[in-house]
Each structure stands twice: as structure tokens, then as C-alpha cells.
Amino acid sequence: MDILLLAVVLAVVAIGAISGLVITRTRSSRAPTDDRPATAAPPAEPQVGEDAGDPAPPLRRTVEDVELPGTPPAEPDVTLDKEPGAVAPPEPVPPTETPEPTVGRLVRLRARLARSQNALGQGLLTLLSRDRLDEDTWEEIEDTLLTADVGVGPTTELVERLRERVRVLGTRTPDELRALLREELLAVIGTDADRSVRTEGGVSAEGGELPAVVLVVGVNGTGKTTTTGKLARVLVADGNSVVLGAADTFRAAAADQLQTWGERVGARTVRGPEGGDPASVAFDAVREGISEGADVVLIDTAGRLHTKTGLMDELGKVKRVVEKQGPVGEVLLVLDATTGQNGLIQARVFAEVVNVTGIVLTKLDGTARGGIVMAVQRELGVPVKLVGLGEGPDDLAPFEPEAFVDALIG
């Protein structure tokens, strides 16, 4: 009996030992397998870092590695200390892209003016090269200008001057004609105007520095929000720090759209609740710009052209409220170059409502109506400062009359 009991006890102990060994082996054989992916993970899972929700270290690593040579987006933390009462500021927005330099952009984009080039530049050169410049030909020249949206006033002026100069010239070589047309187109467009976007800030009553404030106005659909985003890139490329104000609170996607543009170049976007008061967003954006020590605050406004009084009230209020903190340096009117006369009517309404200081002509790519540059400047007496030549992020170019005319006449 005792022997039997001893045998049973021995058997239990033996089974226990064997199963313990198995469990230990299973664990120890799994452990390295578990460890291996963990050590192998960094290369396989380098946390590209852009996606929301990624842990902080990889994000920081990506930003430092890739973007430090770009714009330094570090001011907010520094300025914060000066604002003891302010709500804790959000983290600086690290840029993910470095925008292209703005110098020579129009030259780079000249091919985008192909349709205007054919319709206006080549059209005029071909007509002017005819052996006999009779009344019919001059009428065709006039039609070419009007069809390209040059506008009645500038067209009449241009035709008169061309007639006079061709008469004086007598025989015409193609080179002489090109030079003559170049001069006359430039004379209508004007080469003296200051076409830079004003980025000099002001000084507050307390002697503190104020950012330059730029209001971007225009009817929805003209490319206003896109232009505001692209303009942020232009300004950053030229060495400015920028804060964006998403004061187009009526179009649901506008604030998101703007924020995405801003994030790419390290510009913070100040936004409010959807349908909220645009003026209060504009005010907050300027305040943020002051606290960050930003160079420029760009404010995208709502462009609902319901009634002129409504528009006037809205934009007037935005401007007044912004001016409580500092002057508005620039009011840029965005116009869609493809809309022809409609665009000019819009321009007139906006100019009556707010003091437009510069024009941005969008969608000049793929339109034959490049002449709108002349018409709209004449209409408002305000220079075209920027032109949109495509949907790409760096397809907004400072307007240079010479480069523009050279592109037109090839």
C-alpha cells in the first residue's frame, strides 16, 4: 500500500515537472519571437509621423530631420511668456513643406498662358503683320482685344496708339512689330505701380510690433480660399511668418481647407464655429498674430454676394473689428479671370464696399481672356498684384508686367 502511495506521489511529481518544463519552454521560445519584431519594428514601422494619433517622438523626429532648414516656427513659445494672462497657446505648427521661391514664378508658369498667348499675342501679331492694314483689319484687331477681355477703354486707346505708331513706322518687320506691341501693351498695363503685397507691420499704441494684416475678399468660387493658402506660401517663401484667419465661416469646408494649406508651411489657422461671426474670427486671428509675433495675418473672408448692403455690413464689420488692434495694410480682391464681364461687375461691387488695394486674378491658366488684367486695373484703378496660373500649391505668381507681356507675345 505504502509502495503504491509512493508510486502515485512520484508519478504526480513527474507529470508536474514535465508540464512545467513544457510551459517554460513554450514561454521562452515565444519570448524571442515577441522581441524580434519589437527590435525590428523601428525600420519596419518608422512612424512616418504625419498621421494624427502617432506618438510624439516619431513626429518630432520627422519634423527635425526634414524641416529644420525651412522656416523657423518657434516664436510662439517665446512670445507666450510675454502674455501671462493668455490661454496656454497650442504647439507651434511645424511646416511639412518648403514653398518654392517666388522670384521668377511667372516666367516658370508662362506656358500656362498659352490660350491667352494664342488669342491675344499671336492674334495681334498676325493681324499687324498683314501687308495692308485696312479698316477691316483694324476692326479685327479691335475685336481680338475685346474678345480677350481687354475692355472697351483700353482697347480704344491701344488701337489708336498702334495705328499711329504703325503709320509712323511705314514698313514693318516682324521684330519691329513685336517690339512695338510689347511697348504698347506694357503702357496699358503700367510698369510703375507698386505690386508688392504689403507686409510691413505697424506699431501699437503701447509701442509693440503689429503684424501686417491682409484681408482677402471675393465671391465664393473665385478661388479665394485657395489663393489665401497659396499666398501664405508666397509670404513664407519670402521669409515671413504667417497666421491665417478662417473668417469664411459660412462655407463648411473653408476653414479645414485653409488649415491644411497653413499646416503645410507652418502657419497657424485661427478658426471659429461654423456659421459663427466672421469678425470675431478675424479679431482672434490678429490677436494670435500679435501674440506669436507673426509678420503677416492673412484673413480669408466670406464672399456671399447676396446683397450689397449685406456684404458691406459684413466686410465693414470685419475691417472695423480688426482695426481695433491695428491697421489693415492690404485688401486683396480675388477675381476669376474666366468670368469676364461678370468678374468686372463683382470687382465694382467690392470696390464700393471696401477699399481694395490689390487684385488677384485667378484661373488665368487655360483662359483666352488674359486681357482682363488691363480691364480690371482700369476699372478699379488698382494694380493686379498676383495671378493664379493653376491648382498647384506654388501656382500663384507675383504679377510682373514684362514677364506677362513677354509670355503673351511669345
Least separation in angstroms between residue 391's CB and ligand GDP is 4
The residue (of 89 and 390) whose beta carbon lies closer to ligand GDP is 390
Closest CA to 321 of 291, 281, 274: 281
Q: What are phi and psi of 162, to 5 degrees?
A: -65, -40
How far is the CA of 6 from the CAs of 1, 11, 16, 253, in angstroms? 9, 9, 15, 82
Q: Which stretch binds ligand GDP (CB under 6 A): 62-70, 177-185, 238-246, 384-392?
A: 384-392
Q: How far apart, in whole angstroms, are the C-alpha atoms of residue 410 and residue 399?
A: 17
As measured in angstroms, the least distance from the Cβ of 193 to ligand GDP is: 21
Q: What are phi and psi of 297, to 5 degrees?
A: -115, 120
* Residue of the chain from 224, 233, 287, 385 that contacts ligand GDP (CB under 6 A): 224
> Considering Cα of 234, then 239, then 240, then 246, what sign does the dihedral take?
positive
Closest among 38, 59, 57 to 48, alpha carbons compared: 59
- Per CB under 6 A, the list member of 116, 117, 144, 226 interacting with ligand GDP is 226
From the CB of residue 360, how many other CB atoms can be counted at a distance below 10 Å?
27
CA distance 333 to 306: 17
314, 316, 317, 323 alpha-carbon torsion, rounded to 10°: 150
Region 125-164 residues binding ligand GDP, contact defined as CB under 6 A: none
Is 221 annotated as a binding-site member? Answer: yes
Among 76, 121, 223, 272, binds ligand GDP (CB under 6 A): 223
| 329 annotated ligand binder | no
H or E element, residue 336: strand 328-336
Q: Considering only residues 293-312, where is the footprint of ligand GDP by CB under 6 A?
A: 303
Residue 116 makes contact with ligand GDP by CB under 6 A: no
The reply to whether 118 sits in an annotated binding site is no
Q: Is 249 an interacting residue with respect to ligand GDP (CB under 6 A)?
A: no
Q: Are 300 and 246 in contact (CB under 8 A)?
A: yes
391 binds ligand GDP (CB under 6 A): yes
Residue nearest to ligand GDP (CB): 388
Find the part of the chain contacting ligand GDP (CB under 6 A) among 117-125, 127-135, 185-193, 216-224: 216-224
List 92, 276, 293, 390, residue binding ligand GDP (CB under 6 A): 390
362 vs 377, beta carbon nearer ligand GDP: 362
Q: How far is the CB of 392 from ligand GDP (least distance, A)?
A: 9
Question: Under the rule (CB under 6 A), what is the footprint of ligand GDP?
Answer: 220-226, 303, 362-363, 365, 388-391, 395
Binding-site residue set:
218-225, 300-304, 362-365
